[in-house]
Structure 1
Amino acid sequence: MKKTPFAALIAGLFALPALAFEPFAVQDIRIEGIQRTEAGTVFSYLPVKVGDTLDDEKAAQSIKALFATGFFKDVRVEVDDKVMVVVVQERPAIAQIDFVGMKEFEKDAIIKALKETGIAQGRIFDRAQLEKAEQELKRQYLSRGKYGVNITTTVTPLERNRVGINFNIQEGDAAKIRKINIVGAKSFPEKDLLSKFDLTTPGWITWYTKNDQYSRQKLSADLEKLKSFYMNQGYLEFAVDSTQVSISPDKQDVYITINVTEGERYQVSSVKLAGDFSIPESELKQLVTLKAGDVFSRERLNDSTKAIGDRLGKEGYAFANVNASPEIDKEKRNVAFTIFVDPGKRVYVRRINVTGNTKTRDEVIRRELRQMEGGWYDADRVQASKLRLDRLGFFNEVAIETPAVAGTADQLDVNLNVSEKPTGNLMLGVGTSSVDKVILSGSISQNNFMGSGNNVTAQVNSAKTYRTYVFSYTNPYFTKDGVSQGFDIYHRTVNTASTALAYYSSASTGGAIRFGFPIGEKESLGFGIGIDSTAITTYDNSPPQYKDYVNKFGSRNLSLPLTANWASDGKDSYLMPTRGTFQRASLEVATPGGDLQYYRANYQLQHFFPLTSKFTLMLNGEVGYADGYGSTPDMPFFKNFYAGGVNSVRGYKTSSLGTPGTIVTQDGTTYRIGGNRRVVGNAELLWSVPGMEKSFRMGAFFDAGQVYGKGEPLSFSEMRYSTGLSAAWISPIGPLKFSFGVPLNKKEGDKSESFQFQMGTTF
């Protein structure tokens, strides 16, 4: 039998057969040369089927179709007695990809990036795609400032028509920015302008931030910061003329030159409003912070237009256009602005769509929303909804979009996407000092139990001094109106033998039921009733005050405490607040129905001030007062206040502070018995770490505090002060908190504790 071959390449490129043949009806099709590719795959790409007439044109089309798949590097069509024979030579497949010398990147991340260029295990090997992969890998290194990187690629044939690809990488050192010059800046010192940049020359922290490595994206952002700075100082015509980035011959040093034109400084001659206001013009004018006579500031102008847009959005005008048009008088160096206001149509919310919640129930999210479906759009209510969801602590991120409904002019949807995070916490608390052993405590809690939004907590503290076993449950929506209900069951033992406190031991068992009532968007009231049984044991070396109390009131007391509290939370974030105020007041009263009658009152005020985009000042103040009343006017000593430790005055050992009226000396040893009044103040400068703004924050603190005995005057000369550094990290294994405190006015008998930390894991 005679076979008639066709030149594959010529036919593929020019659709002309090498040899002509008489057309014939195909009785069968045979595939030869395939090793990995299934015959059915080849058949699926052939434009010829059994029964079709094969001619020169159809043969050429078949060759072109198979070449187009990229599976084959050679294709021929032969004829064997009315049988169409397709002879192919497969391209090799990629069996493995290896990297030698790669330290800068994780292997999995690079393999994922190369896959987008067509190079991946199991895919057909293509030399052109390999060259693209090399360029992509080099681009990744250049983005990290490694301009001297050298990449050598080796392709090794393997059995069964496969190849292995090896990338041999000589990374070299990352190039560092040695100098940044700003040419044309006359009004401000260059060092002040460069302080606005993220890019910088090598410094003490650039090993972490990598800001001493050139990045086109970072430079663009820095140039925009530079422009904003000048614009906010009145330089309306400021411009960046050009930038030059040069690299030293050894590719280790980068030099950046920025050429600018400052222009003249302008003052505002007038600011007018024009357009359809829909809101009284007098009210909108109050939102304009840029006034006639002020030095021009783009930031203040933008804030004004945004405030007007937000005010219109509160009335349902979600698509309002507010734009400022300047009129520049170059001779007088004045600029007049006309702010054009176009509210557009008032719109309402068609649907609220919730996505991203794989665990949390829809109802748990929707009950926090203040914007309702079918109601007029209110920007303030949408923002309040986002803030309430943030405060739940269930989500890493809450994103809201408000797209217009296609085909309508007065409707929009609210698309709410949440990114859930682990809400279970396994916490370990650790305290240590040079003279004391390590003290451990732990708790396990689930703030979003089975996605219901309910809180379940079991706490265990097995330290030698304090042992605590607590089980708590809270339903924040016991009623649909937001009334919460919860209960606590506990057993606590105290043995002060190894502490700064006077020696005694106690065991308390009890429980409580509580309710919370929302009285505002940010405020709530809480009430509770409980029962507590406490047994007190004194020893030979216990202070007389303790022994006298037990002799007078007995070694076991039953109390029926009533509690009331008020809280107002205006912070902008649950985990990392940067602005807002938090207040809390609480009162505990032991009713006459029990053996003890006393009351304890506490008040806390905390405020966060944003100083800059990176720095926040936190001020915190706490006061407490307690006393007995009725038939037992003596305050139970085990209900006294204490100060010192990680939650009050850092740098001092827990509960170690006290005035003369709260100290007893026995056998040459000084002990604390606590007081009925407590004052604590904290000031802390907080700043975020670049690249970890939502998870890591450091601080420099100044703490002050003291407790006072009954009848003692509140003397600030008796206050104790400390300073130090702190760090808080929402890590992948859970929240971590560290502090290093140094007492500033430590006196004889005070006990210091420099390093304290708290760690935990989430699930």
Structure 2
Amino acid sequence: MKKNPLFQILLLGLLAGEAAHAGSFVVEDIKVRGLQRISAGTVFNYLPVAVGETFSEEKQGSAIRALFNTGFFKDIILEREGDTLIVNVVERPSVAKIVIEGNKDIKKEDLAEALKKIGLAEGKVYNKQILDKVEQELRRQYFSHGKYGLKIKTEVTELTRNRVGIHIDIAEGKVAKIKQINIVGSRAFTNDALKKDFELSTTNFLSFYSKDDQYSKQKLSADLEKLRSYYLDRGYINFSIESTQVDITADKKEIYITINVKEGDVYTLEKVKLSGELVVEPEELVKLVKVGPGETFSRKNATETSKAISDRLGDEGYTFANVNMVPEINESNKSVVMTFFVDPGKRVYVRRVNFKGNTKTRDEVLRREMRQMESSWAASSKIERSKTRLDRLGYFEEVGVETPPVVGAADQIDVNYSIKEKASGNLQAGIGYSQVQGVIFNANVSQDNIFGTGKRVNFAFNNSSIMTRYNLGYRDPYFTLDGVSMGWDVGYSARKGYQANISRYNTNVANAGFNFGIPLNEFDNLGFDVDLKQTEIADTQFSPQEVVDFIRDYGDSFLTLSTGLGWTHDTMNRAVFATSGGQQRFSALATVPGSDLEYYKIGYKQQHYFPLSSDFTFRILGEVAYGDGYGNTNDLPFFENYFGGGAQSVRGFRDNTLGPRDTPRPLSGQTPRPFGGSSKILGKAELFFPVPFLSDVKSVRIGTFMDAGTVSKGFEISNMRYSAGLSGEWLSPFGAIAVSVAQPFNASDTDNVQNFQFTFGSGF
């Protein structure tokens, strides 16, 4: 019988459907076999089939892939027993321990953290493929430290309970040093001039600290940008870096860097224009332009001009202003027409000024330091100045500021200050030491921010071989709403001159006084004080002739009422360890006519900090002072003389020993001792930098310095003394510590040289 083809096709389709149906079943149960550490619940969580669902051959592949993707298993087989799905697994071993040996340059903790980031850590699942990543990561770590001769050997040991131990043996090799940096194609400038500000360098005497002779891709990128800026700041608009090659010798010890450049021509400025929406008077903006026609084009000056205009607009509330530089280059005459296009954007108001973190300090203490007011235009300089004023209070460890926009308002921002308070109260009792004062017993109870009001109260007691002193003081920095401060203090001190390296006489002084401070503007303050003082002098059998003559002429007990006037201009960013800004102080003091002694003292001191980089700060300081008697007092009383030498003056000379000497009485058998003078000159130049390998740069610093100074009866420059050396300062929890090692340049035979000096337990 002849078969119908259509019938045959239908029959084959029916048989195929039955076969497919035969491979599918409804899962009544799921069992997992082979688990050791991983729970069955974990498997069920990743398995894309559940009890009650139909399982087919199509789902088998997706189920196996899902379980493999977990990384927990190295083998998976799915089987069927009746209507039960059997999941057979073989777990990957876990990492029981990782042993790293041979590492010296990088700590084990740092290496372990790096390996953890790529998935290798104790307790994690071991994957053989990850060992390749381990070697790549270790090489990356060591290459960043300049060690290109690195050799790594990895050994995996199987342990019980399906675990492995990994042993990594590292042979670091020596650090590859930069042997040479060549800039090819530079005709206008020498290689040394171009490389002067590079972070990378060949080996020098500071390389052990700066590591600048170790190659780094990131540092090279930064240096290439510096090179580009060097040319663009000197008119080479078309300057380009054609290529860069970094070659290492076969022994992996030396690196050669070659930079190929194309200088191009020098371009000058033909014209400078301002355009756009000039919301500030054009005359004001013109003053901020730091480039002009006829000058060589400088990207640096153009960028500074753009920033200066933006900052000026920011002070008017245009916080998000953009000032774009649009250069029009004329190739024929090598000139540039520079246009500064001003887009002020919307004027922005400050909705709220908020403070966070002041759990103790009252809100009003913070708000009175604000220069940016609520509901007024946002001024960038005022917001930053407010932050600086908070930082200078001394109540906080850190002060931060953010200016988030107000949601739903395009012209409003909030100013949020976040502060971290520090303990402003201090209860101390301890022992300090000074090379001059010897052992110092001290007790101090002070509160700079009593009850969170910003007022200061302190009581101090100090006792040393030189001086015994008691003092009680109070200060209210905002005695009035306008910022006028008021304070008072009472005290008593007894000093032994001989122990202080000066003439042999003793003094006892009781004093009481009050003071006012009047702010003239943001940076200037006028101070006024009145002080009532009772001074008693006691001579000894070894006192010099000057002391004996003074007591004969004026007596040994004096009641004086003095008034003082002072002016301070302060722009320093911090009160302690400043890094920028400066300070000028002028002071004048005179006893009122009719006092037992009539004299005056005037002085001027100026210092300035120049930030050379994020870590280096240069300071210069100059001070001059003079005093004399008037009325019935012929000269400045000797116990008011100025002294020089020591840690706070010209280092390298013993405290108080610079300047005139006294005249021993006949037959006393004494040698001349420092007597001080009526005038003082002091100068300092110091470069501060952080201690190598130390992260805390706010409480410790070191420096190299040069000091100069003299004390005399008149301004005698010929008696100036000079010294240079190294210094270290640390604001430790136990008190301030200052150390210096200095070498005097022109010490005379009569000078008391003291190369190493330190103090502990006293302020700077």
TM-score range, shorter chain: 0.7 to 0.9
CA–CA separation in structure 1 for the residues paired with 2:126 and 2:760: 50
The residue that corresponds to 1:114 in the other structure is 115
CA–CA separation in structure 2 for the residues paired with 1:619 and 1:663: 38
Q: 1:96 to 1:563 in 2, by over 3 A?
A: farther
Q: 1:80 to 1:567 in 2, by over 3 A?
A: same
Residue identity opposite 2:104 in structure 1: K
Does residue 371 of the first structure (1) align with residue 372 of the second (2)? yes
Verify the 8 A CA contact 1:649 1:680 in the aligned structure 2.
Answer: no
Verify the 8 A CA contact 2:43 2:67 in the aligned structure 1.
Answer: yes
CA–CA separation in structure 1 for the residues paired with 2:343 and 2:547: 75
Does residue 705 of the first structure (1) align with residue 706 of the second (2)? no
Verify the 8 A CA contact 2:727 2:738 in the aligned structure 1.
Answer: yes
Higher RCO by CA contacts (8 Å cutoff, separation 6 or greater): 1
Does residue 720 of the first structure (1) align with residue 724 of the second (2)? no
Deviation at 1:276, TM superposition (A): 1.6
The residue that corresponds to 2:14 in the other structure is none
Verify the 8 A CA contact 1:516 1:524 in the aligned structure 2.
Answer: yes
Q: Which digits, 9 at most, give the CA deviation of each residue in 1:412-459, with x for residues without a partner?
A: 344545677887999997655xxx896668787776679776667676
CA–CA separation in structure 2 for the residues paired with 1:49 and 1:309: 64
What's the secondary structure of 2:288's corresponding residue? coil
Residue identity opposite 2:503 in structure 1: A
The residue that corresponds to 1:249 in the other structure is 250
Verify the 8 A CA contact 2:458 2:472 in the aligned structure 1.
Answer: yes
Give ranges in structure 2 of 5+ residues lacking alignment: 1-18
**What does 1:572-651 correspond to in 2, within 5 Å?**
572-577=573-578, 579-588=580-589, 599-608=600-609, 618-627=619-628, 636-651=637-652
Residue identity opposite 1:226 in structure 2: L
What's the secondary structure of 1:151's corresponding residue? strand
Q: 1:424 to 1:738 in 2, by over 3 A?
A: farther
Deviation at 1:127, TM superposition (A): 2.7
CA–CA separation in structure 1 for the residues paired with 2:720 and 2:530: 36
Q: 1:645 to 1:364 in 2, by over 3 A?
A: same
Q: 1:188 to 1:634 in 2, by over 3 A?
A: closer
**What does 1:355-394 correspond to in 2, within 5 Å?**
365-393=366-394
Deviation at 1:244, TM superposition (A): 0.5
Residue identity opposite 1:673 in structure 2: F
What's the secondary structure of 2:283's corresponding residue? helix
Q: 1:80 to 1:612 in 2, by over 3 A?
A: closer
Residue identity opposite 1:146 in structure 2: K
The residue that corresponds to 1:670 in the other structure is 672
Verify the 8 A CA contact 2:102 2:169 in the aligned structure 1.
Answer: yes
Verify the 8 A CA contact 2:503 2:662 in the aligned structure 1.
Answer: no
Let me know the Cα RMSD of the aligned residues. 4.1
CA–CA separation in structure 2 for the residues paired with 1:211 and 1:357: 42
Residue identity opposite 1:722 in structure 2: Y
CA–CA separation in structure 2 for the residues paired with 1:167 and 1:592: 85
**What does 1:30-179 correspond to in 2, within 5 Å?**
30-49=31-50, 62-77=63-78, 86-179=87-180
Residue identity opposite 2:706 in structure 1: F
- Residue identity over aligned pairs, in percent, reads 42
Q: 1:214 to 1:304 in 2, by over 3 A?
A: same
What's the secondary structure of 2:119's corresponding residue? coil
Residue identity opposite 2:135 in structure 1: E
CA–CA separation in structure 2 for the residues paired with 1:121 and 1:364: 52
Residue identity opposite 1:565 in structure 2: G
Verify the 8 A CA contact 1:662 1:674 in the aligned structure 2.
Answer: no
The residue that corresponds to 1:501 in the other structure is 502
Deviation at 1:603, TM superposition (A): 2.6
Residue identity opposite 1:71 in structure 2: F
Does residue 331 of the first structure (1) align with residue 325 of the second (2)? no
The worse-fitting range, judged by mean Cα deviation, of 160-169 and 392-401 is 392-401
The worse-fitting range, judged by mean Cα deviation, of 646-655 and 589-598 is 589-598
Residue identity opposite 2:725 in structure 1: L
CA–CA separation in structure 1 for the residues paired with 2:732 and 2:64: 55
TM-score (norm 2): 0.84
Verify the 8 A CA contact 1:662 1:672 in the aligned structure 2.
Answer: no
Residue identity opposite 1:322 in structure 2: V
The residue that corresponds to 1:350 in the other structure is 351
Verify the 8 A CA contact 1:720 1:746 in the aligned structure 2.
Answer: no
Deviation at 1:645, TM superposition (A): 1.7
Q: Which digits, 9 at most, give the CA deviation of each residue in 1:206-259, with x for residues without a partner?
A: 111110111111111111111212122221211111111000011110000111
Give ranges in structure 1 of 5+ residues lacking alignment: 1-16
The worse-fitting range, judged by mean Cα deviation, of 624-633 and 362-371 is 624-633
Verify the 8 A CA contact 1:664 1:673 in the aligned structure 2.
Answer: no
Verify the 8 A CA contact 1:648 1:680 in the aligned structure 2.
Answer: no
Q: 1:545 to 1:246 in 2, by over 3 A?
A: same
CA–CA separation in structure 2 for the residues paired with 1:133 and 1:540: 82
Verify the 8 A CA contact 1:424 1:447 in the aligned structure 2.
Answer: yes
The residue that corresponds to 2:13 in the other structure is none
Deviation at 1:145, TM superposition (A): 0.7
Deviation at 1:559, TM superposition (A): 5.5
Deviation at 1:199, TM superposition (A): 1.1
Verify the 8 A CA contact 2:723 2:745 in the aligned structure 1.
Answer: yes
CA–CA separation in structure 2 for the residues paired with 1:722 and 1:439: 29
TM-score (norm 1): 0.84
Deviation at 1:148, TM superposition (A): 0.9
Deviation at 1:263, TM superposition (A): 0.7
What's the secondary structure of 1:110's corresponding residue? helix
CA–CA separation in structure 1 for the residues paired with 2:440 and 2:642: 22
What's the secondary structure of 1:163's corresponding residue? strand
Verify the 8 A CA contact 1:583 1:604 in the aligned structure 2.
Answer: yes
CA–CA separation in structure 2 for the residues paired with 1:136 and 1:448: 51
The residue that corresponds to 1:13 in the other structure is none
**What does 1:361-440 correspond to in 2, within 5 Å?**
365-393=366-394, 399-405=400-406, 407-416=408-417, 432=435
CA–CA separation in structure 1 for the residues paired with 2:577 and 2:529: 30
The worse-fitting range, judged by mean Cα deviation, of 242-251 and 650-659 is 650-659
CA–CA separation in structure 1 for the residues paired with 2:592 and 2:754: 38
The worse-fitting range, judged by mean Cα deviation, of 443-452 and 211-220 is 443-452
Deviation at 1:539, TM superposition (A): 1.6
CA–CA separation in structure 2 for the residues paired with 1:516 and 1:655: 31
Q: Which digits, 9 at most, give the CA deviation of each residue in 1:664-720, with x for residues without a partner?
A: 885241112323x22223141536469988764533324122132xxxx43333x32
Deviation at 1:73, TM superposition (A): 2.9
Deviation at 1:610, TM superposition (A): 6.7
The residue that corresponds to 1:14 in the other structure is none
CA–CA separation in structure 2 for the residues paired with 1:419 and 1:610: 25
The residue that corresponds to 2:203 in the other structure is 202
Residue identity opposite 1:524 in structure 2: N
Deviation at 1:31, TM superposition (A): 4.6
The residue that corresponds to 1:11 in the other structure is none
CA–CA separation in structure 2 for the residues paired with 1:616 and 1:69: 54
Verify the 8 A CA contact 1:495 1:504 in the aligned structure 2.
Answer: yes
The worse-fitting range, judged by mean Cα deviation, of 346-355 and 235-244 is 346-355
CA–CA separation in structure 1 for the residues paired with 2:134 and 2:452: 44
Deviation at 1:202, TM superposition (A): 0.6
Does residue 315 of the first structure (1) align with residue 316 of the second (2)? yes
The residue that corresponds to 1:655 in the other structure is 656
Verify the 8 A CA contact 1:670 1:749 in the aligned structure 2.
Answer: no
The worse-fitting range, judged by mean Cα deviation, of 212-221 and 326-335 is 326-335
Deviation at 1:134, TM superposition (A): 2.8
What's the secondary structure of 1:308's corresponding residue? helix
The residue that corresponds to 1:523 in the other structure is 524
What's the secondary structure of 2:173's corresponding residue? coil
CA–CA separation in structure 1 for the residues paired with 2:20 and 2:107: 52
Verify the 8 A CA contact 1:615 1:685 in the aligned structure 2.
Answer: no
Q: Which digits, 9 at most, give the CA deviation of each residue in 1:471-515, with x for residues without a partner?
A: 656554556544445555655332233443111233445565544
Q: 1:610 to 1:145 in 2, by over 3 A?
A: closer
Verify the 8 A CA contact 1:643 1:678 in the aligned structure 2.
Answer: no
Residue identity opposite 1:672 in structure 2: P
Deviation at 1:581, TM superposition (A): 3.4
Q: Which digits, 9 at most, give the CA deviation of each residue in 1:594-649, with x for residues without a partner?
A: 87665544332224467899986644332334456678777554333222222222
What's the secondary structure of 1:141's corresponding residue? helix
Q: 1:111 to 1:345 in 2, by over 3 A?
A: same
Q: 1:24 to 1:270 in 2, by over 3 A?
A: closer
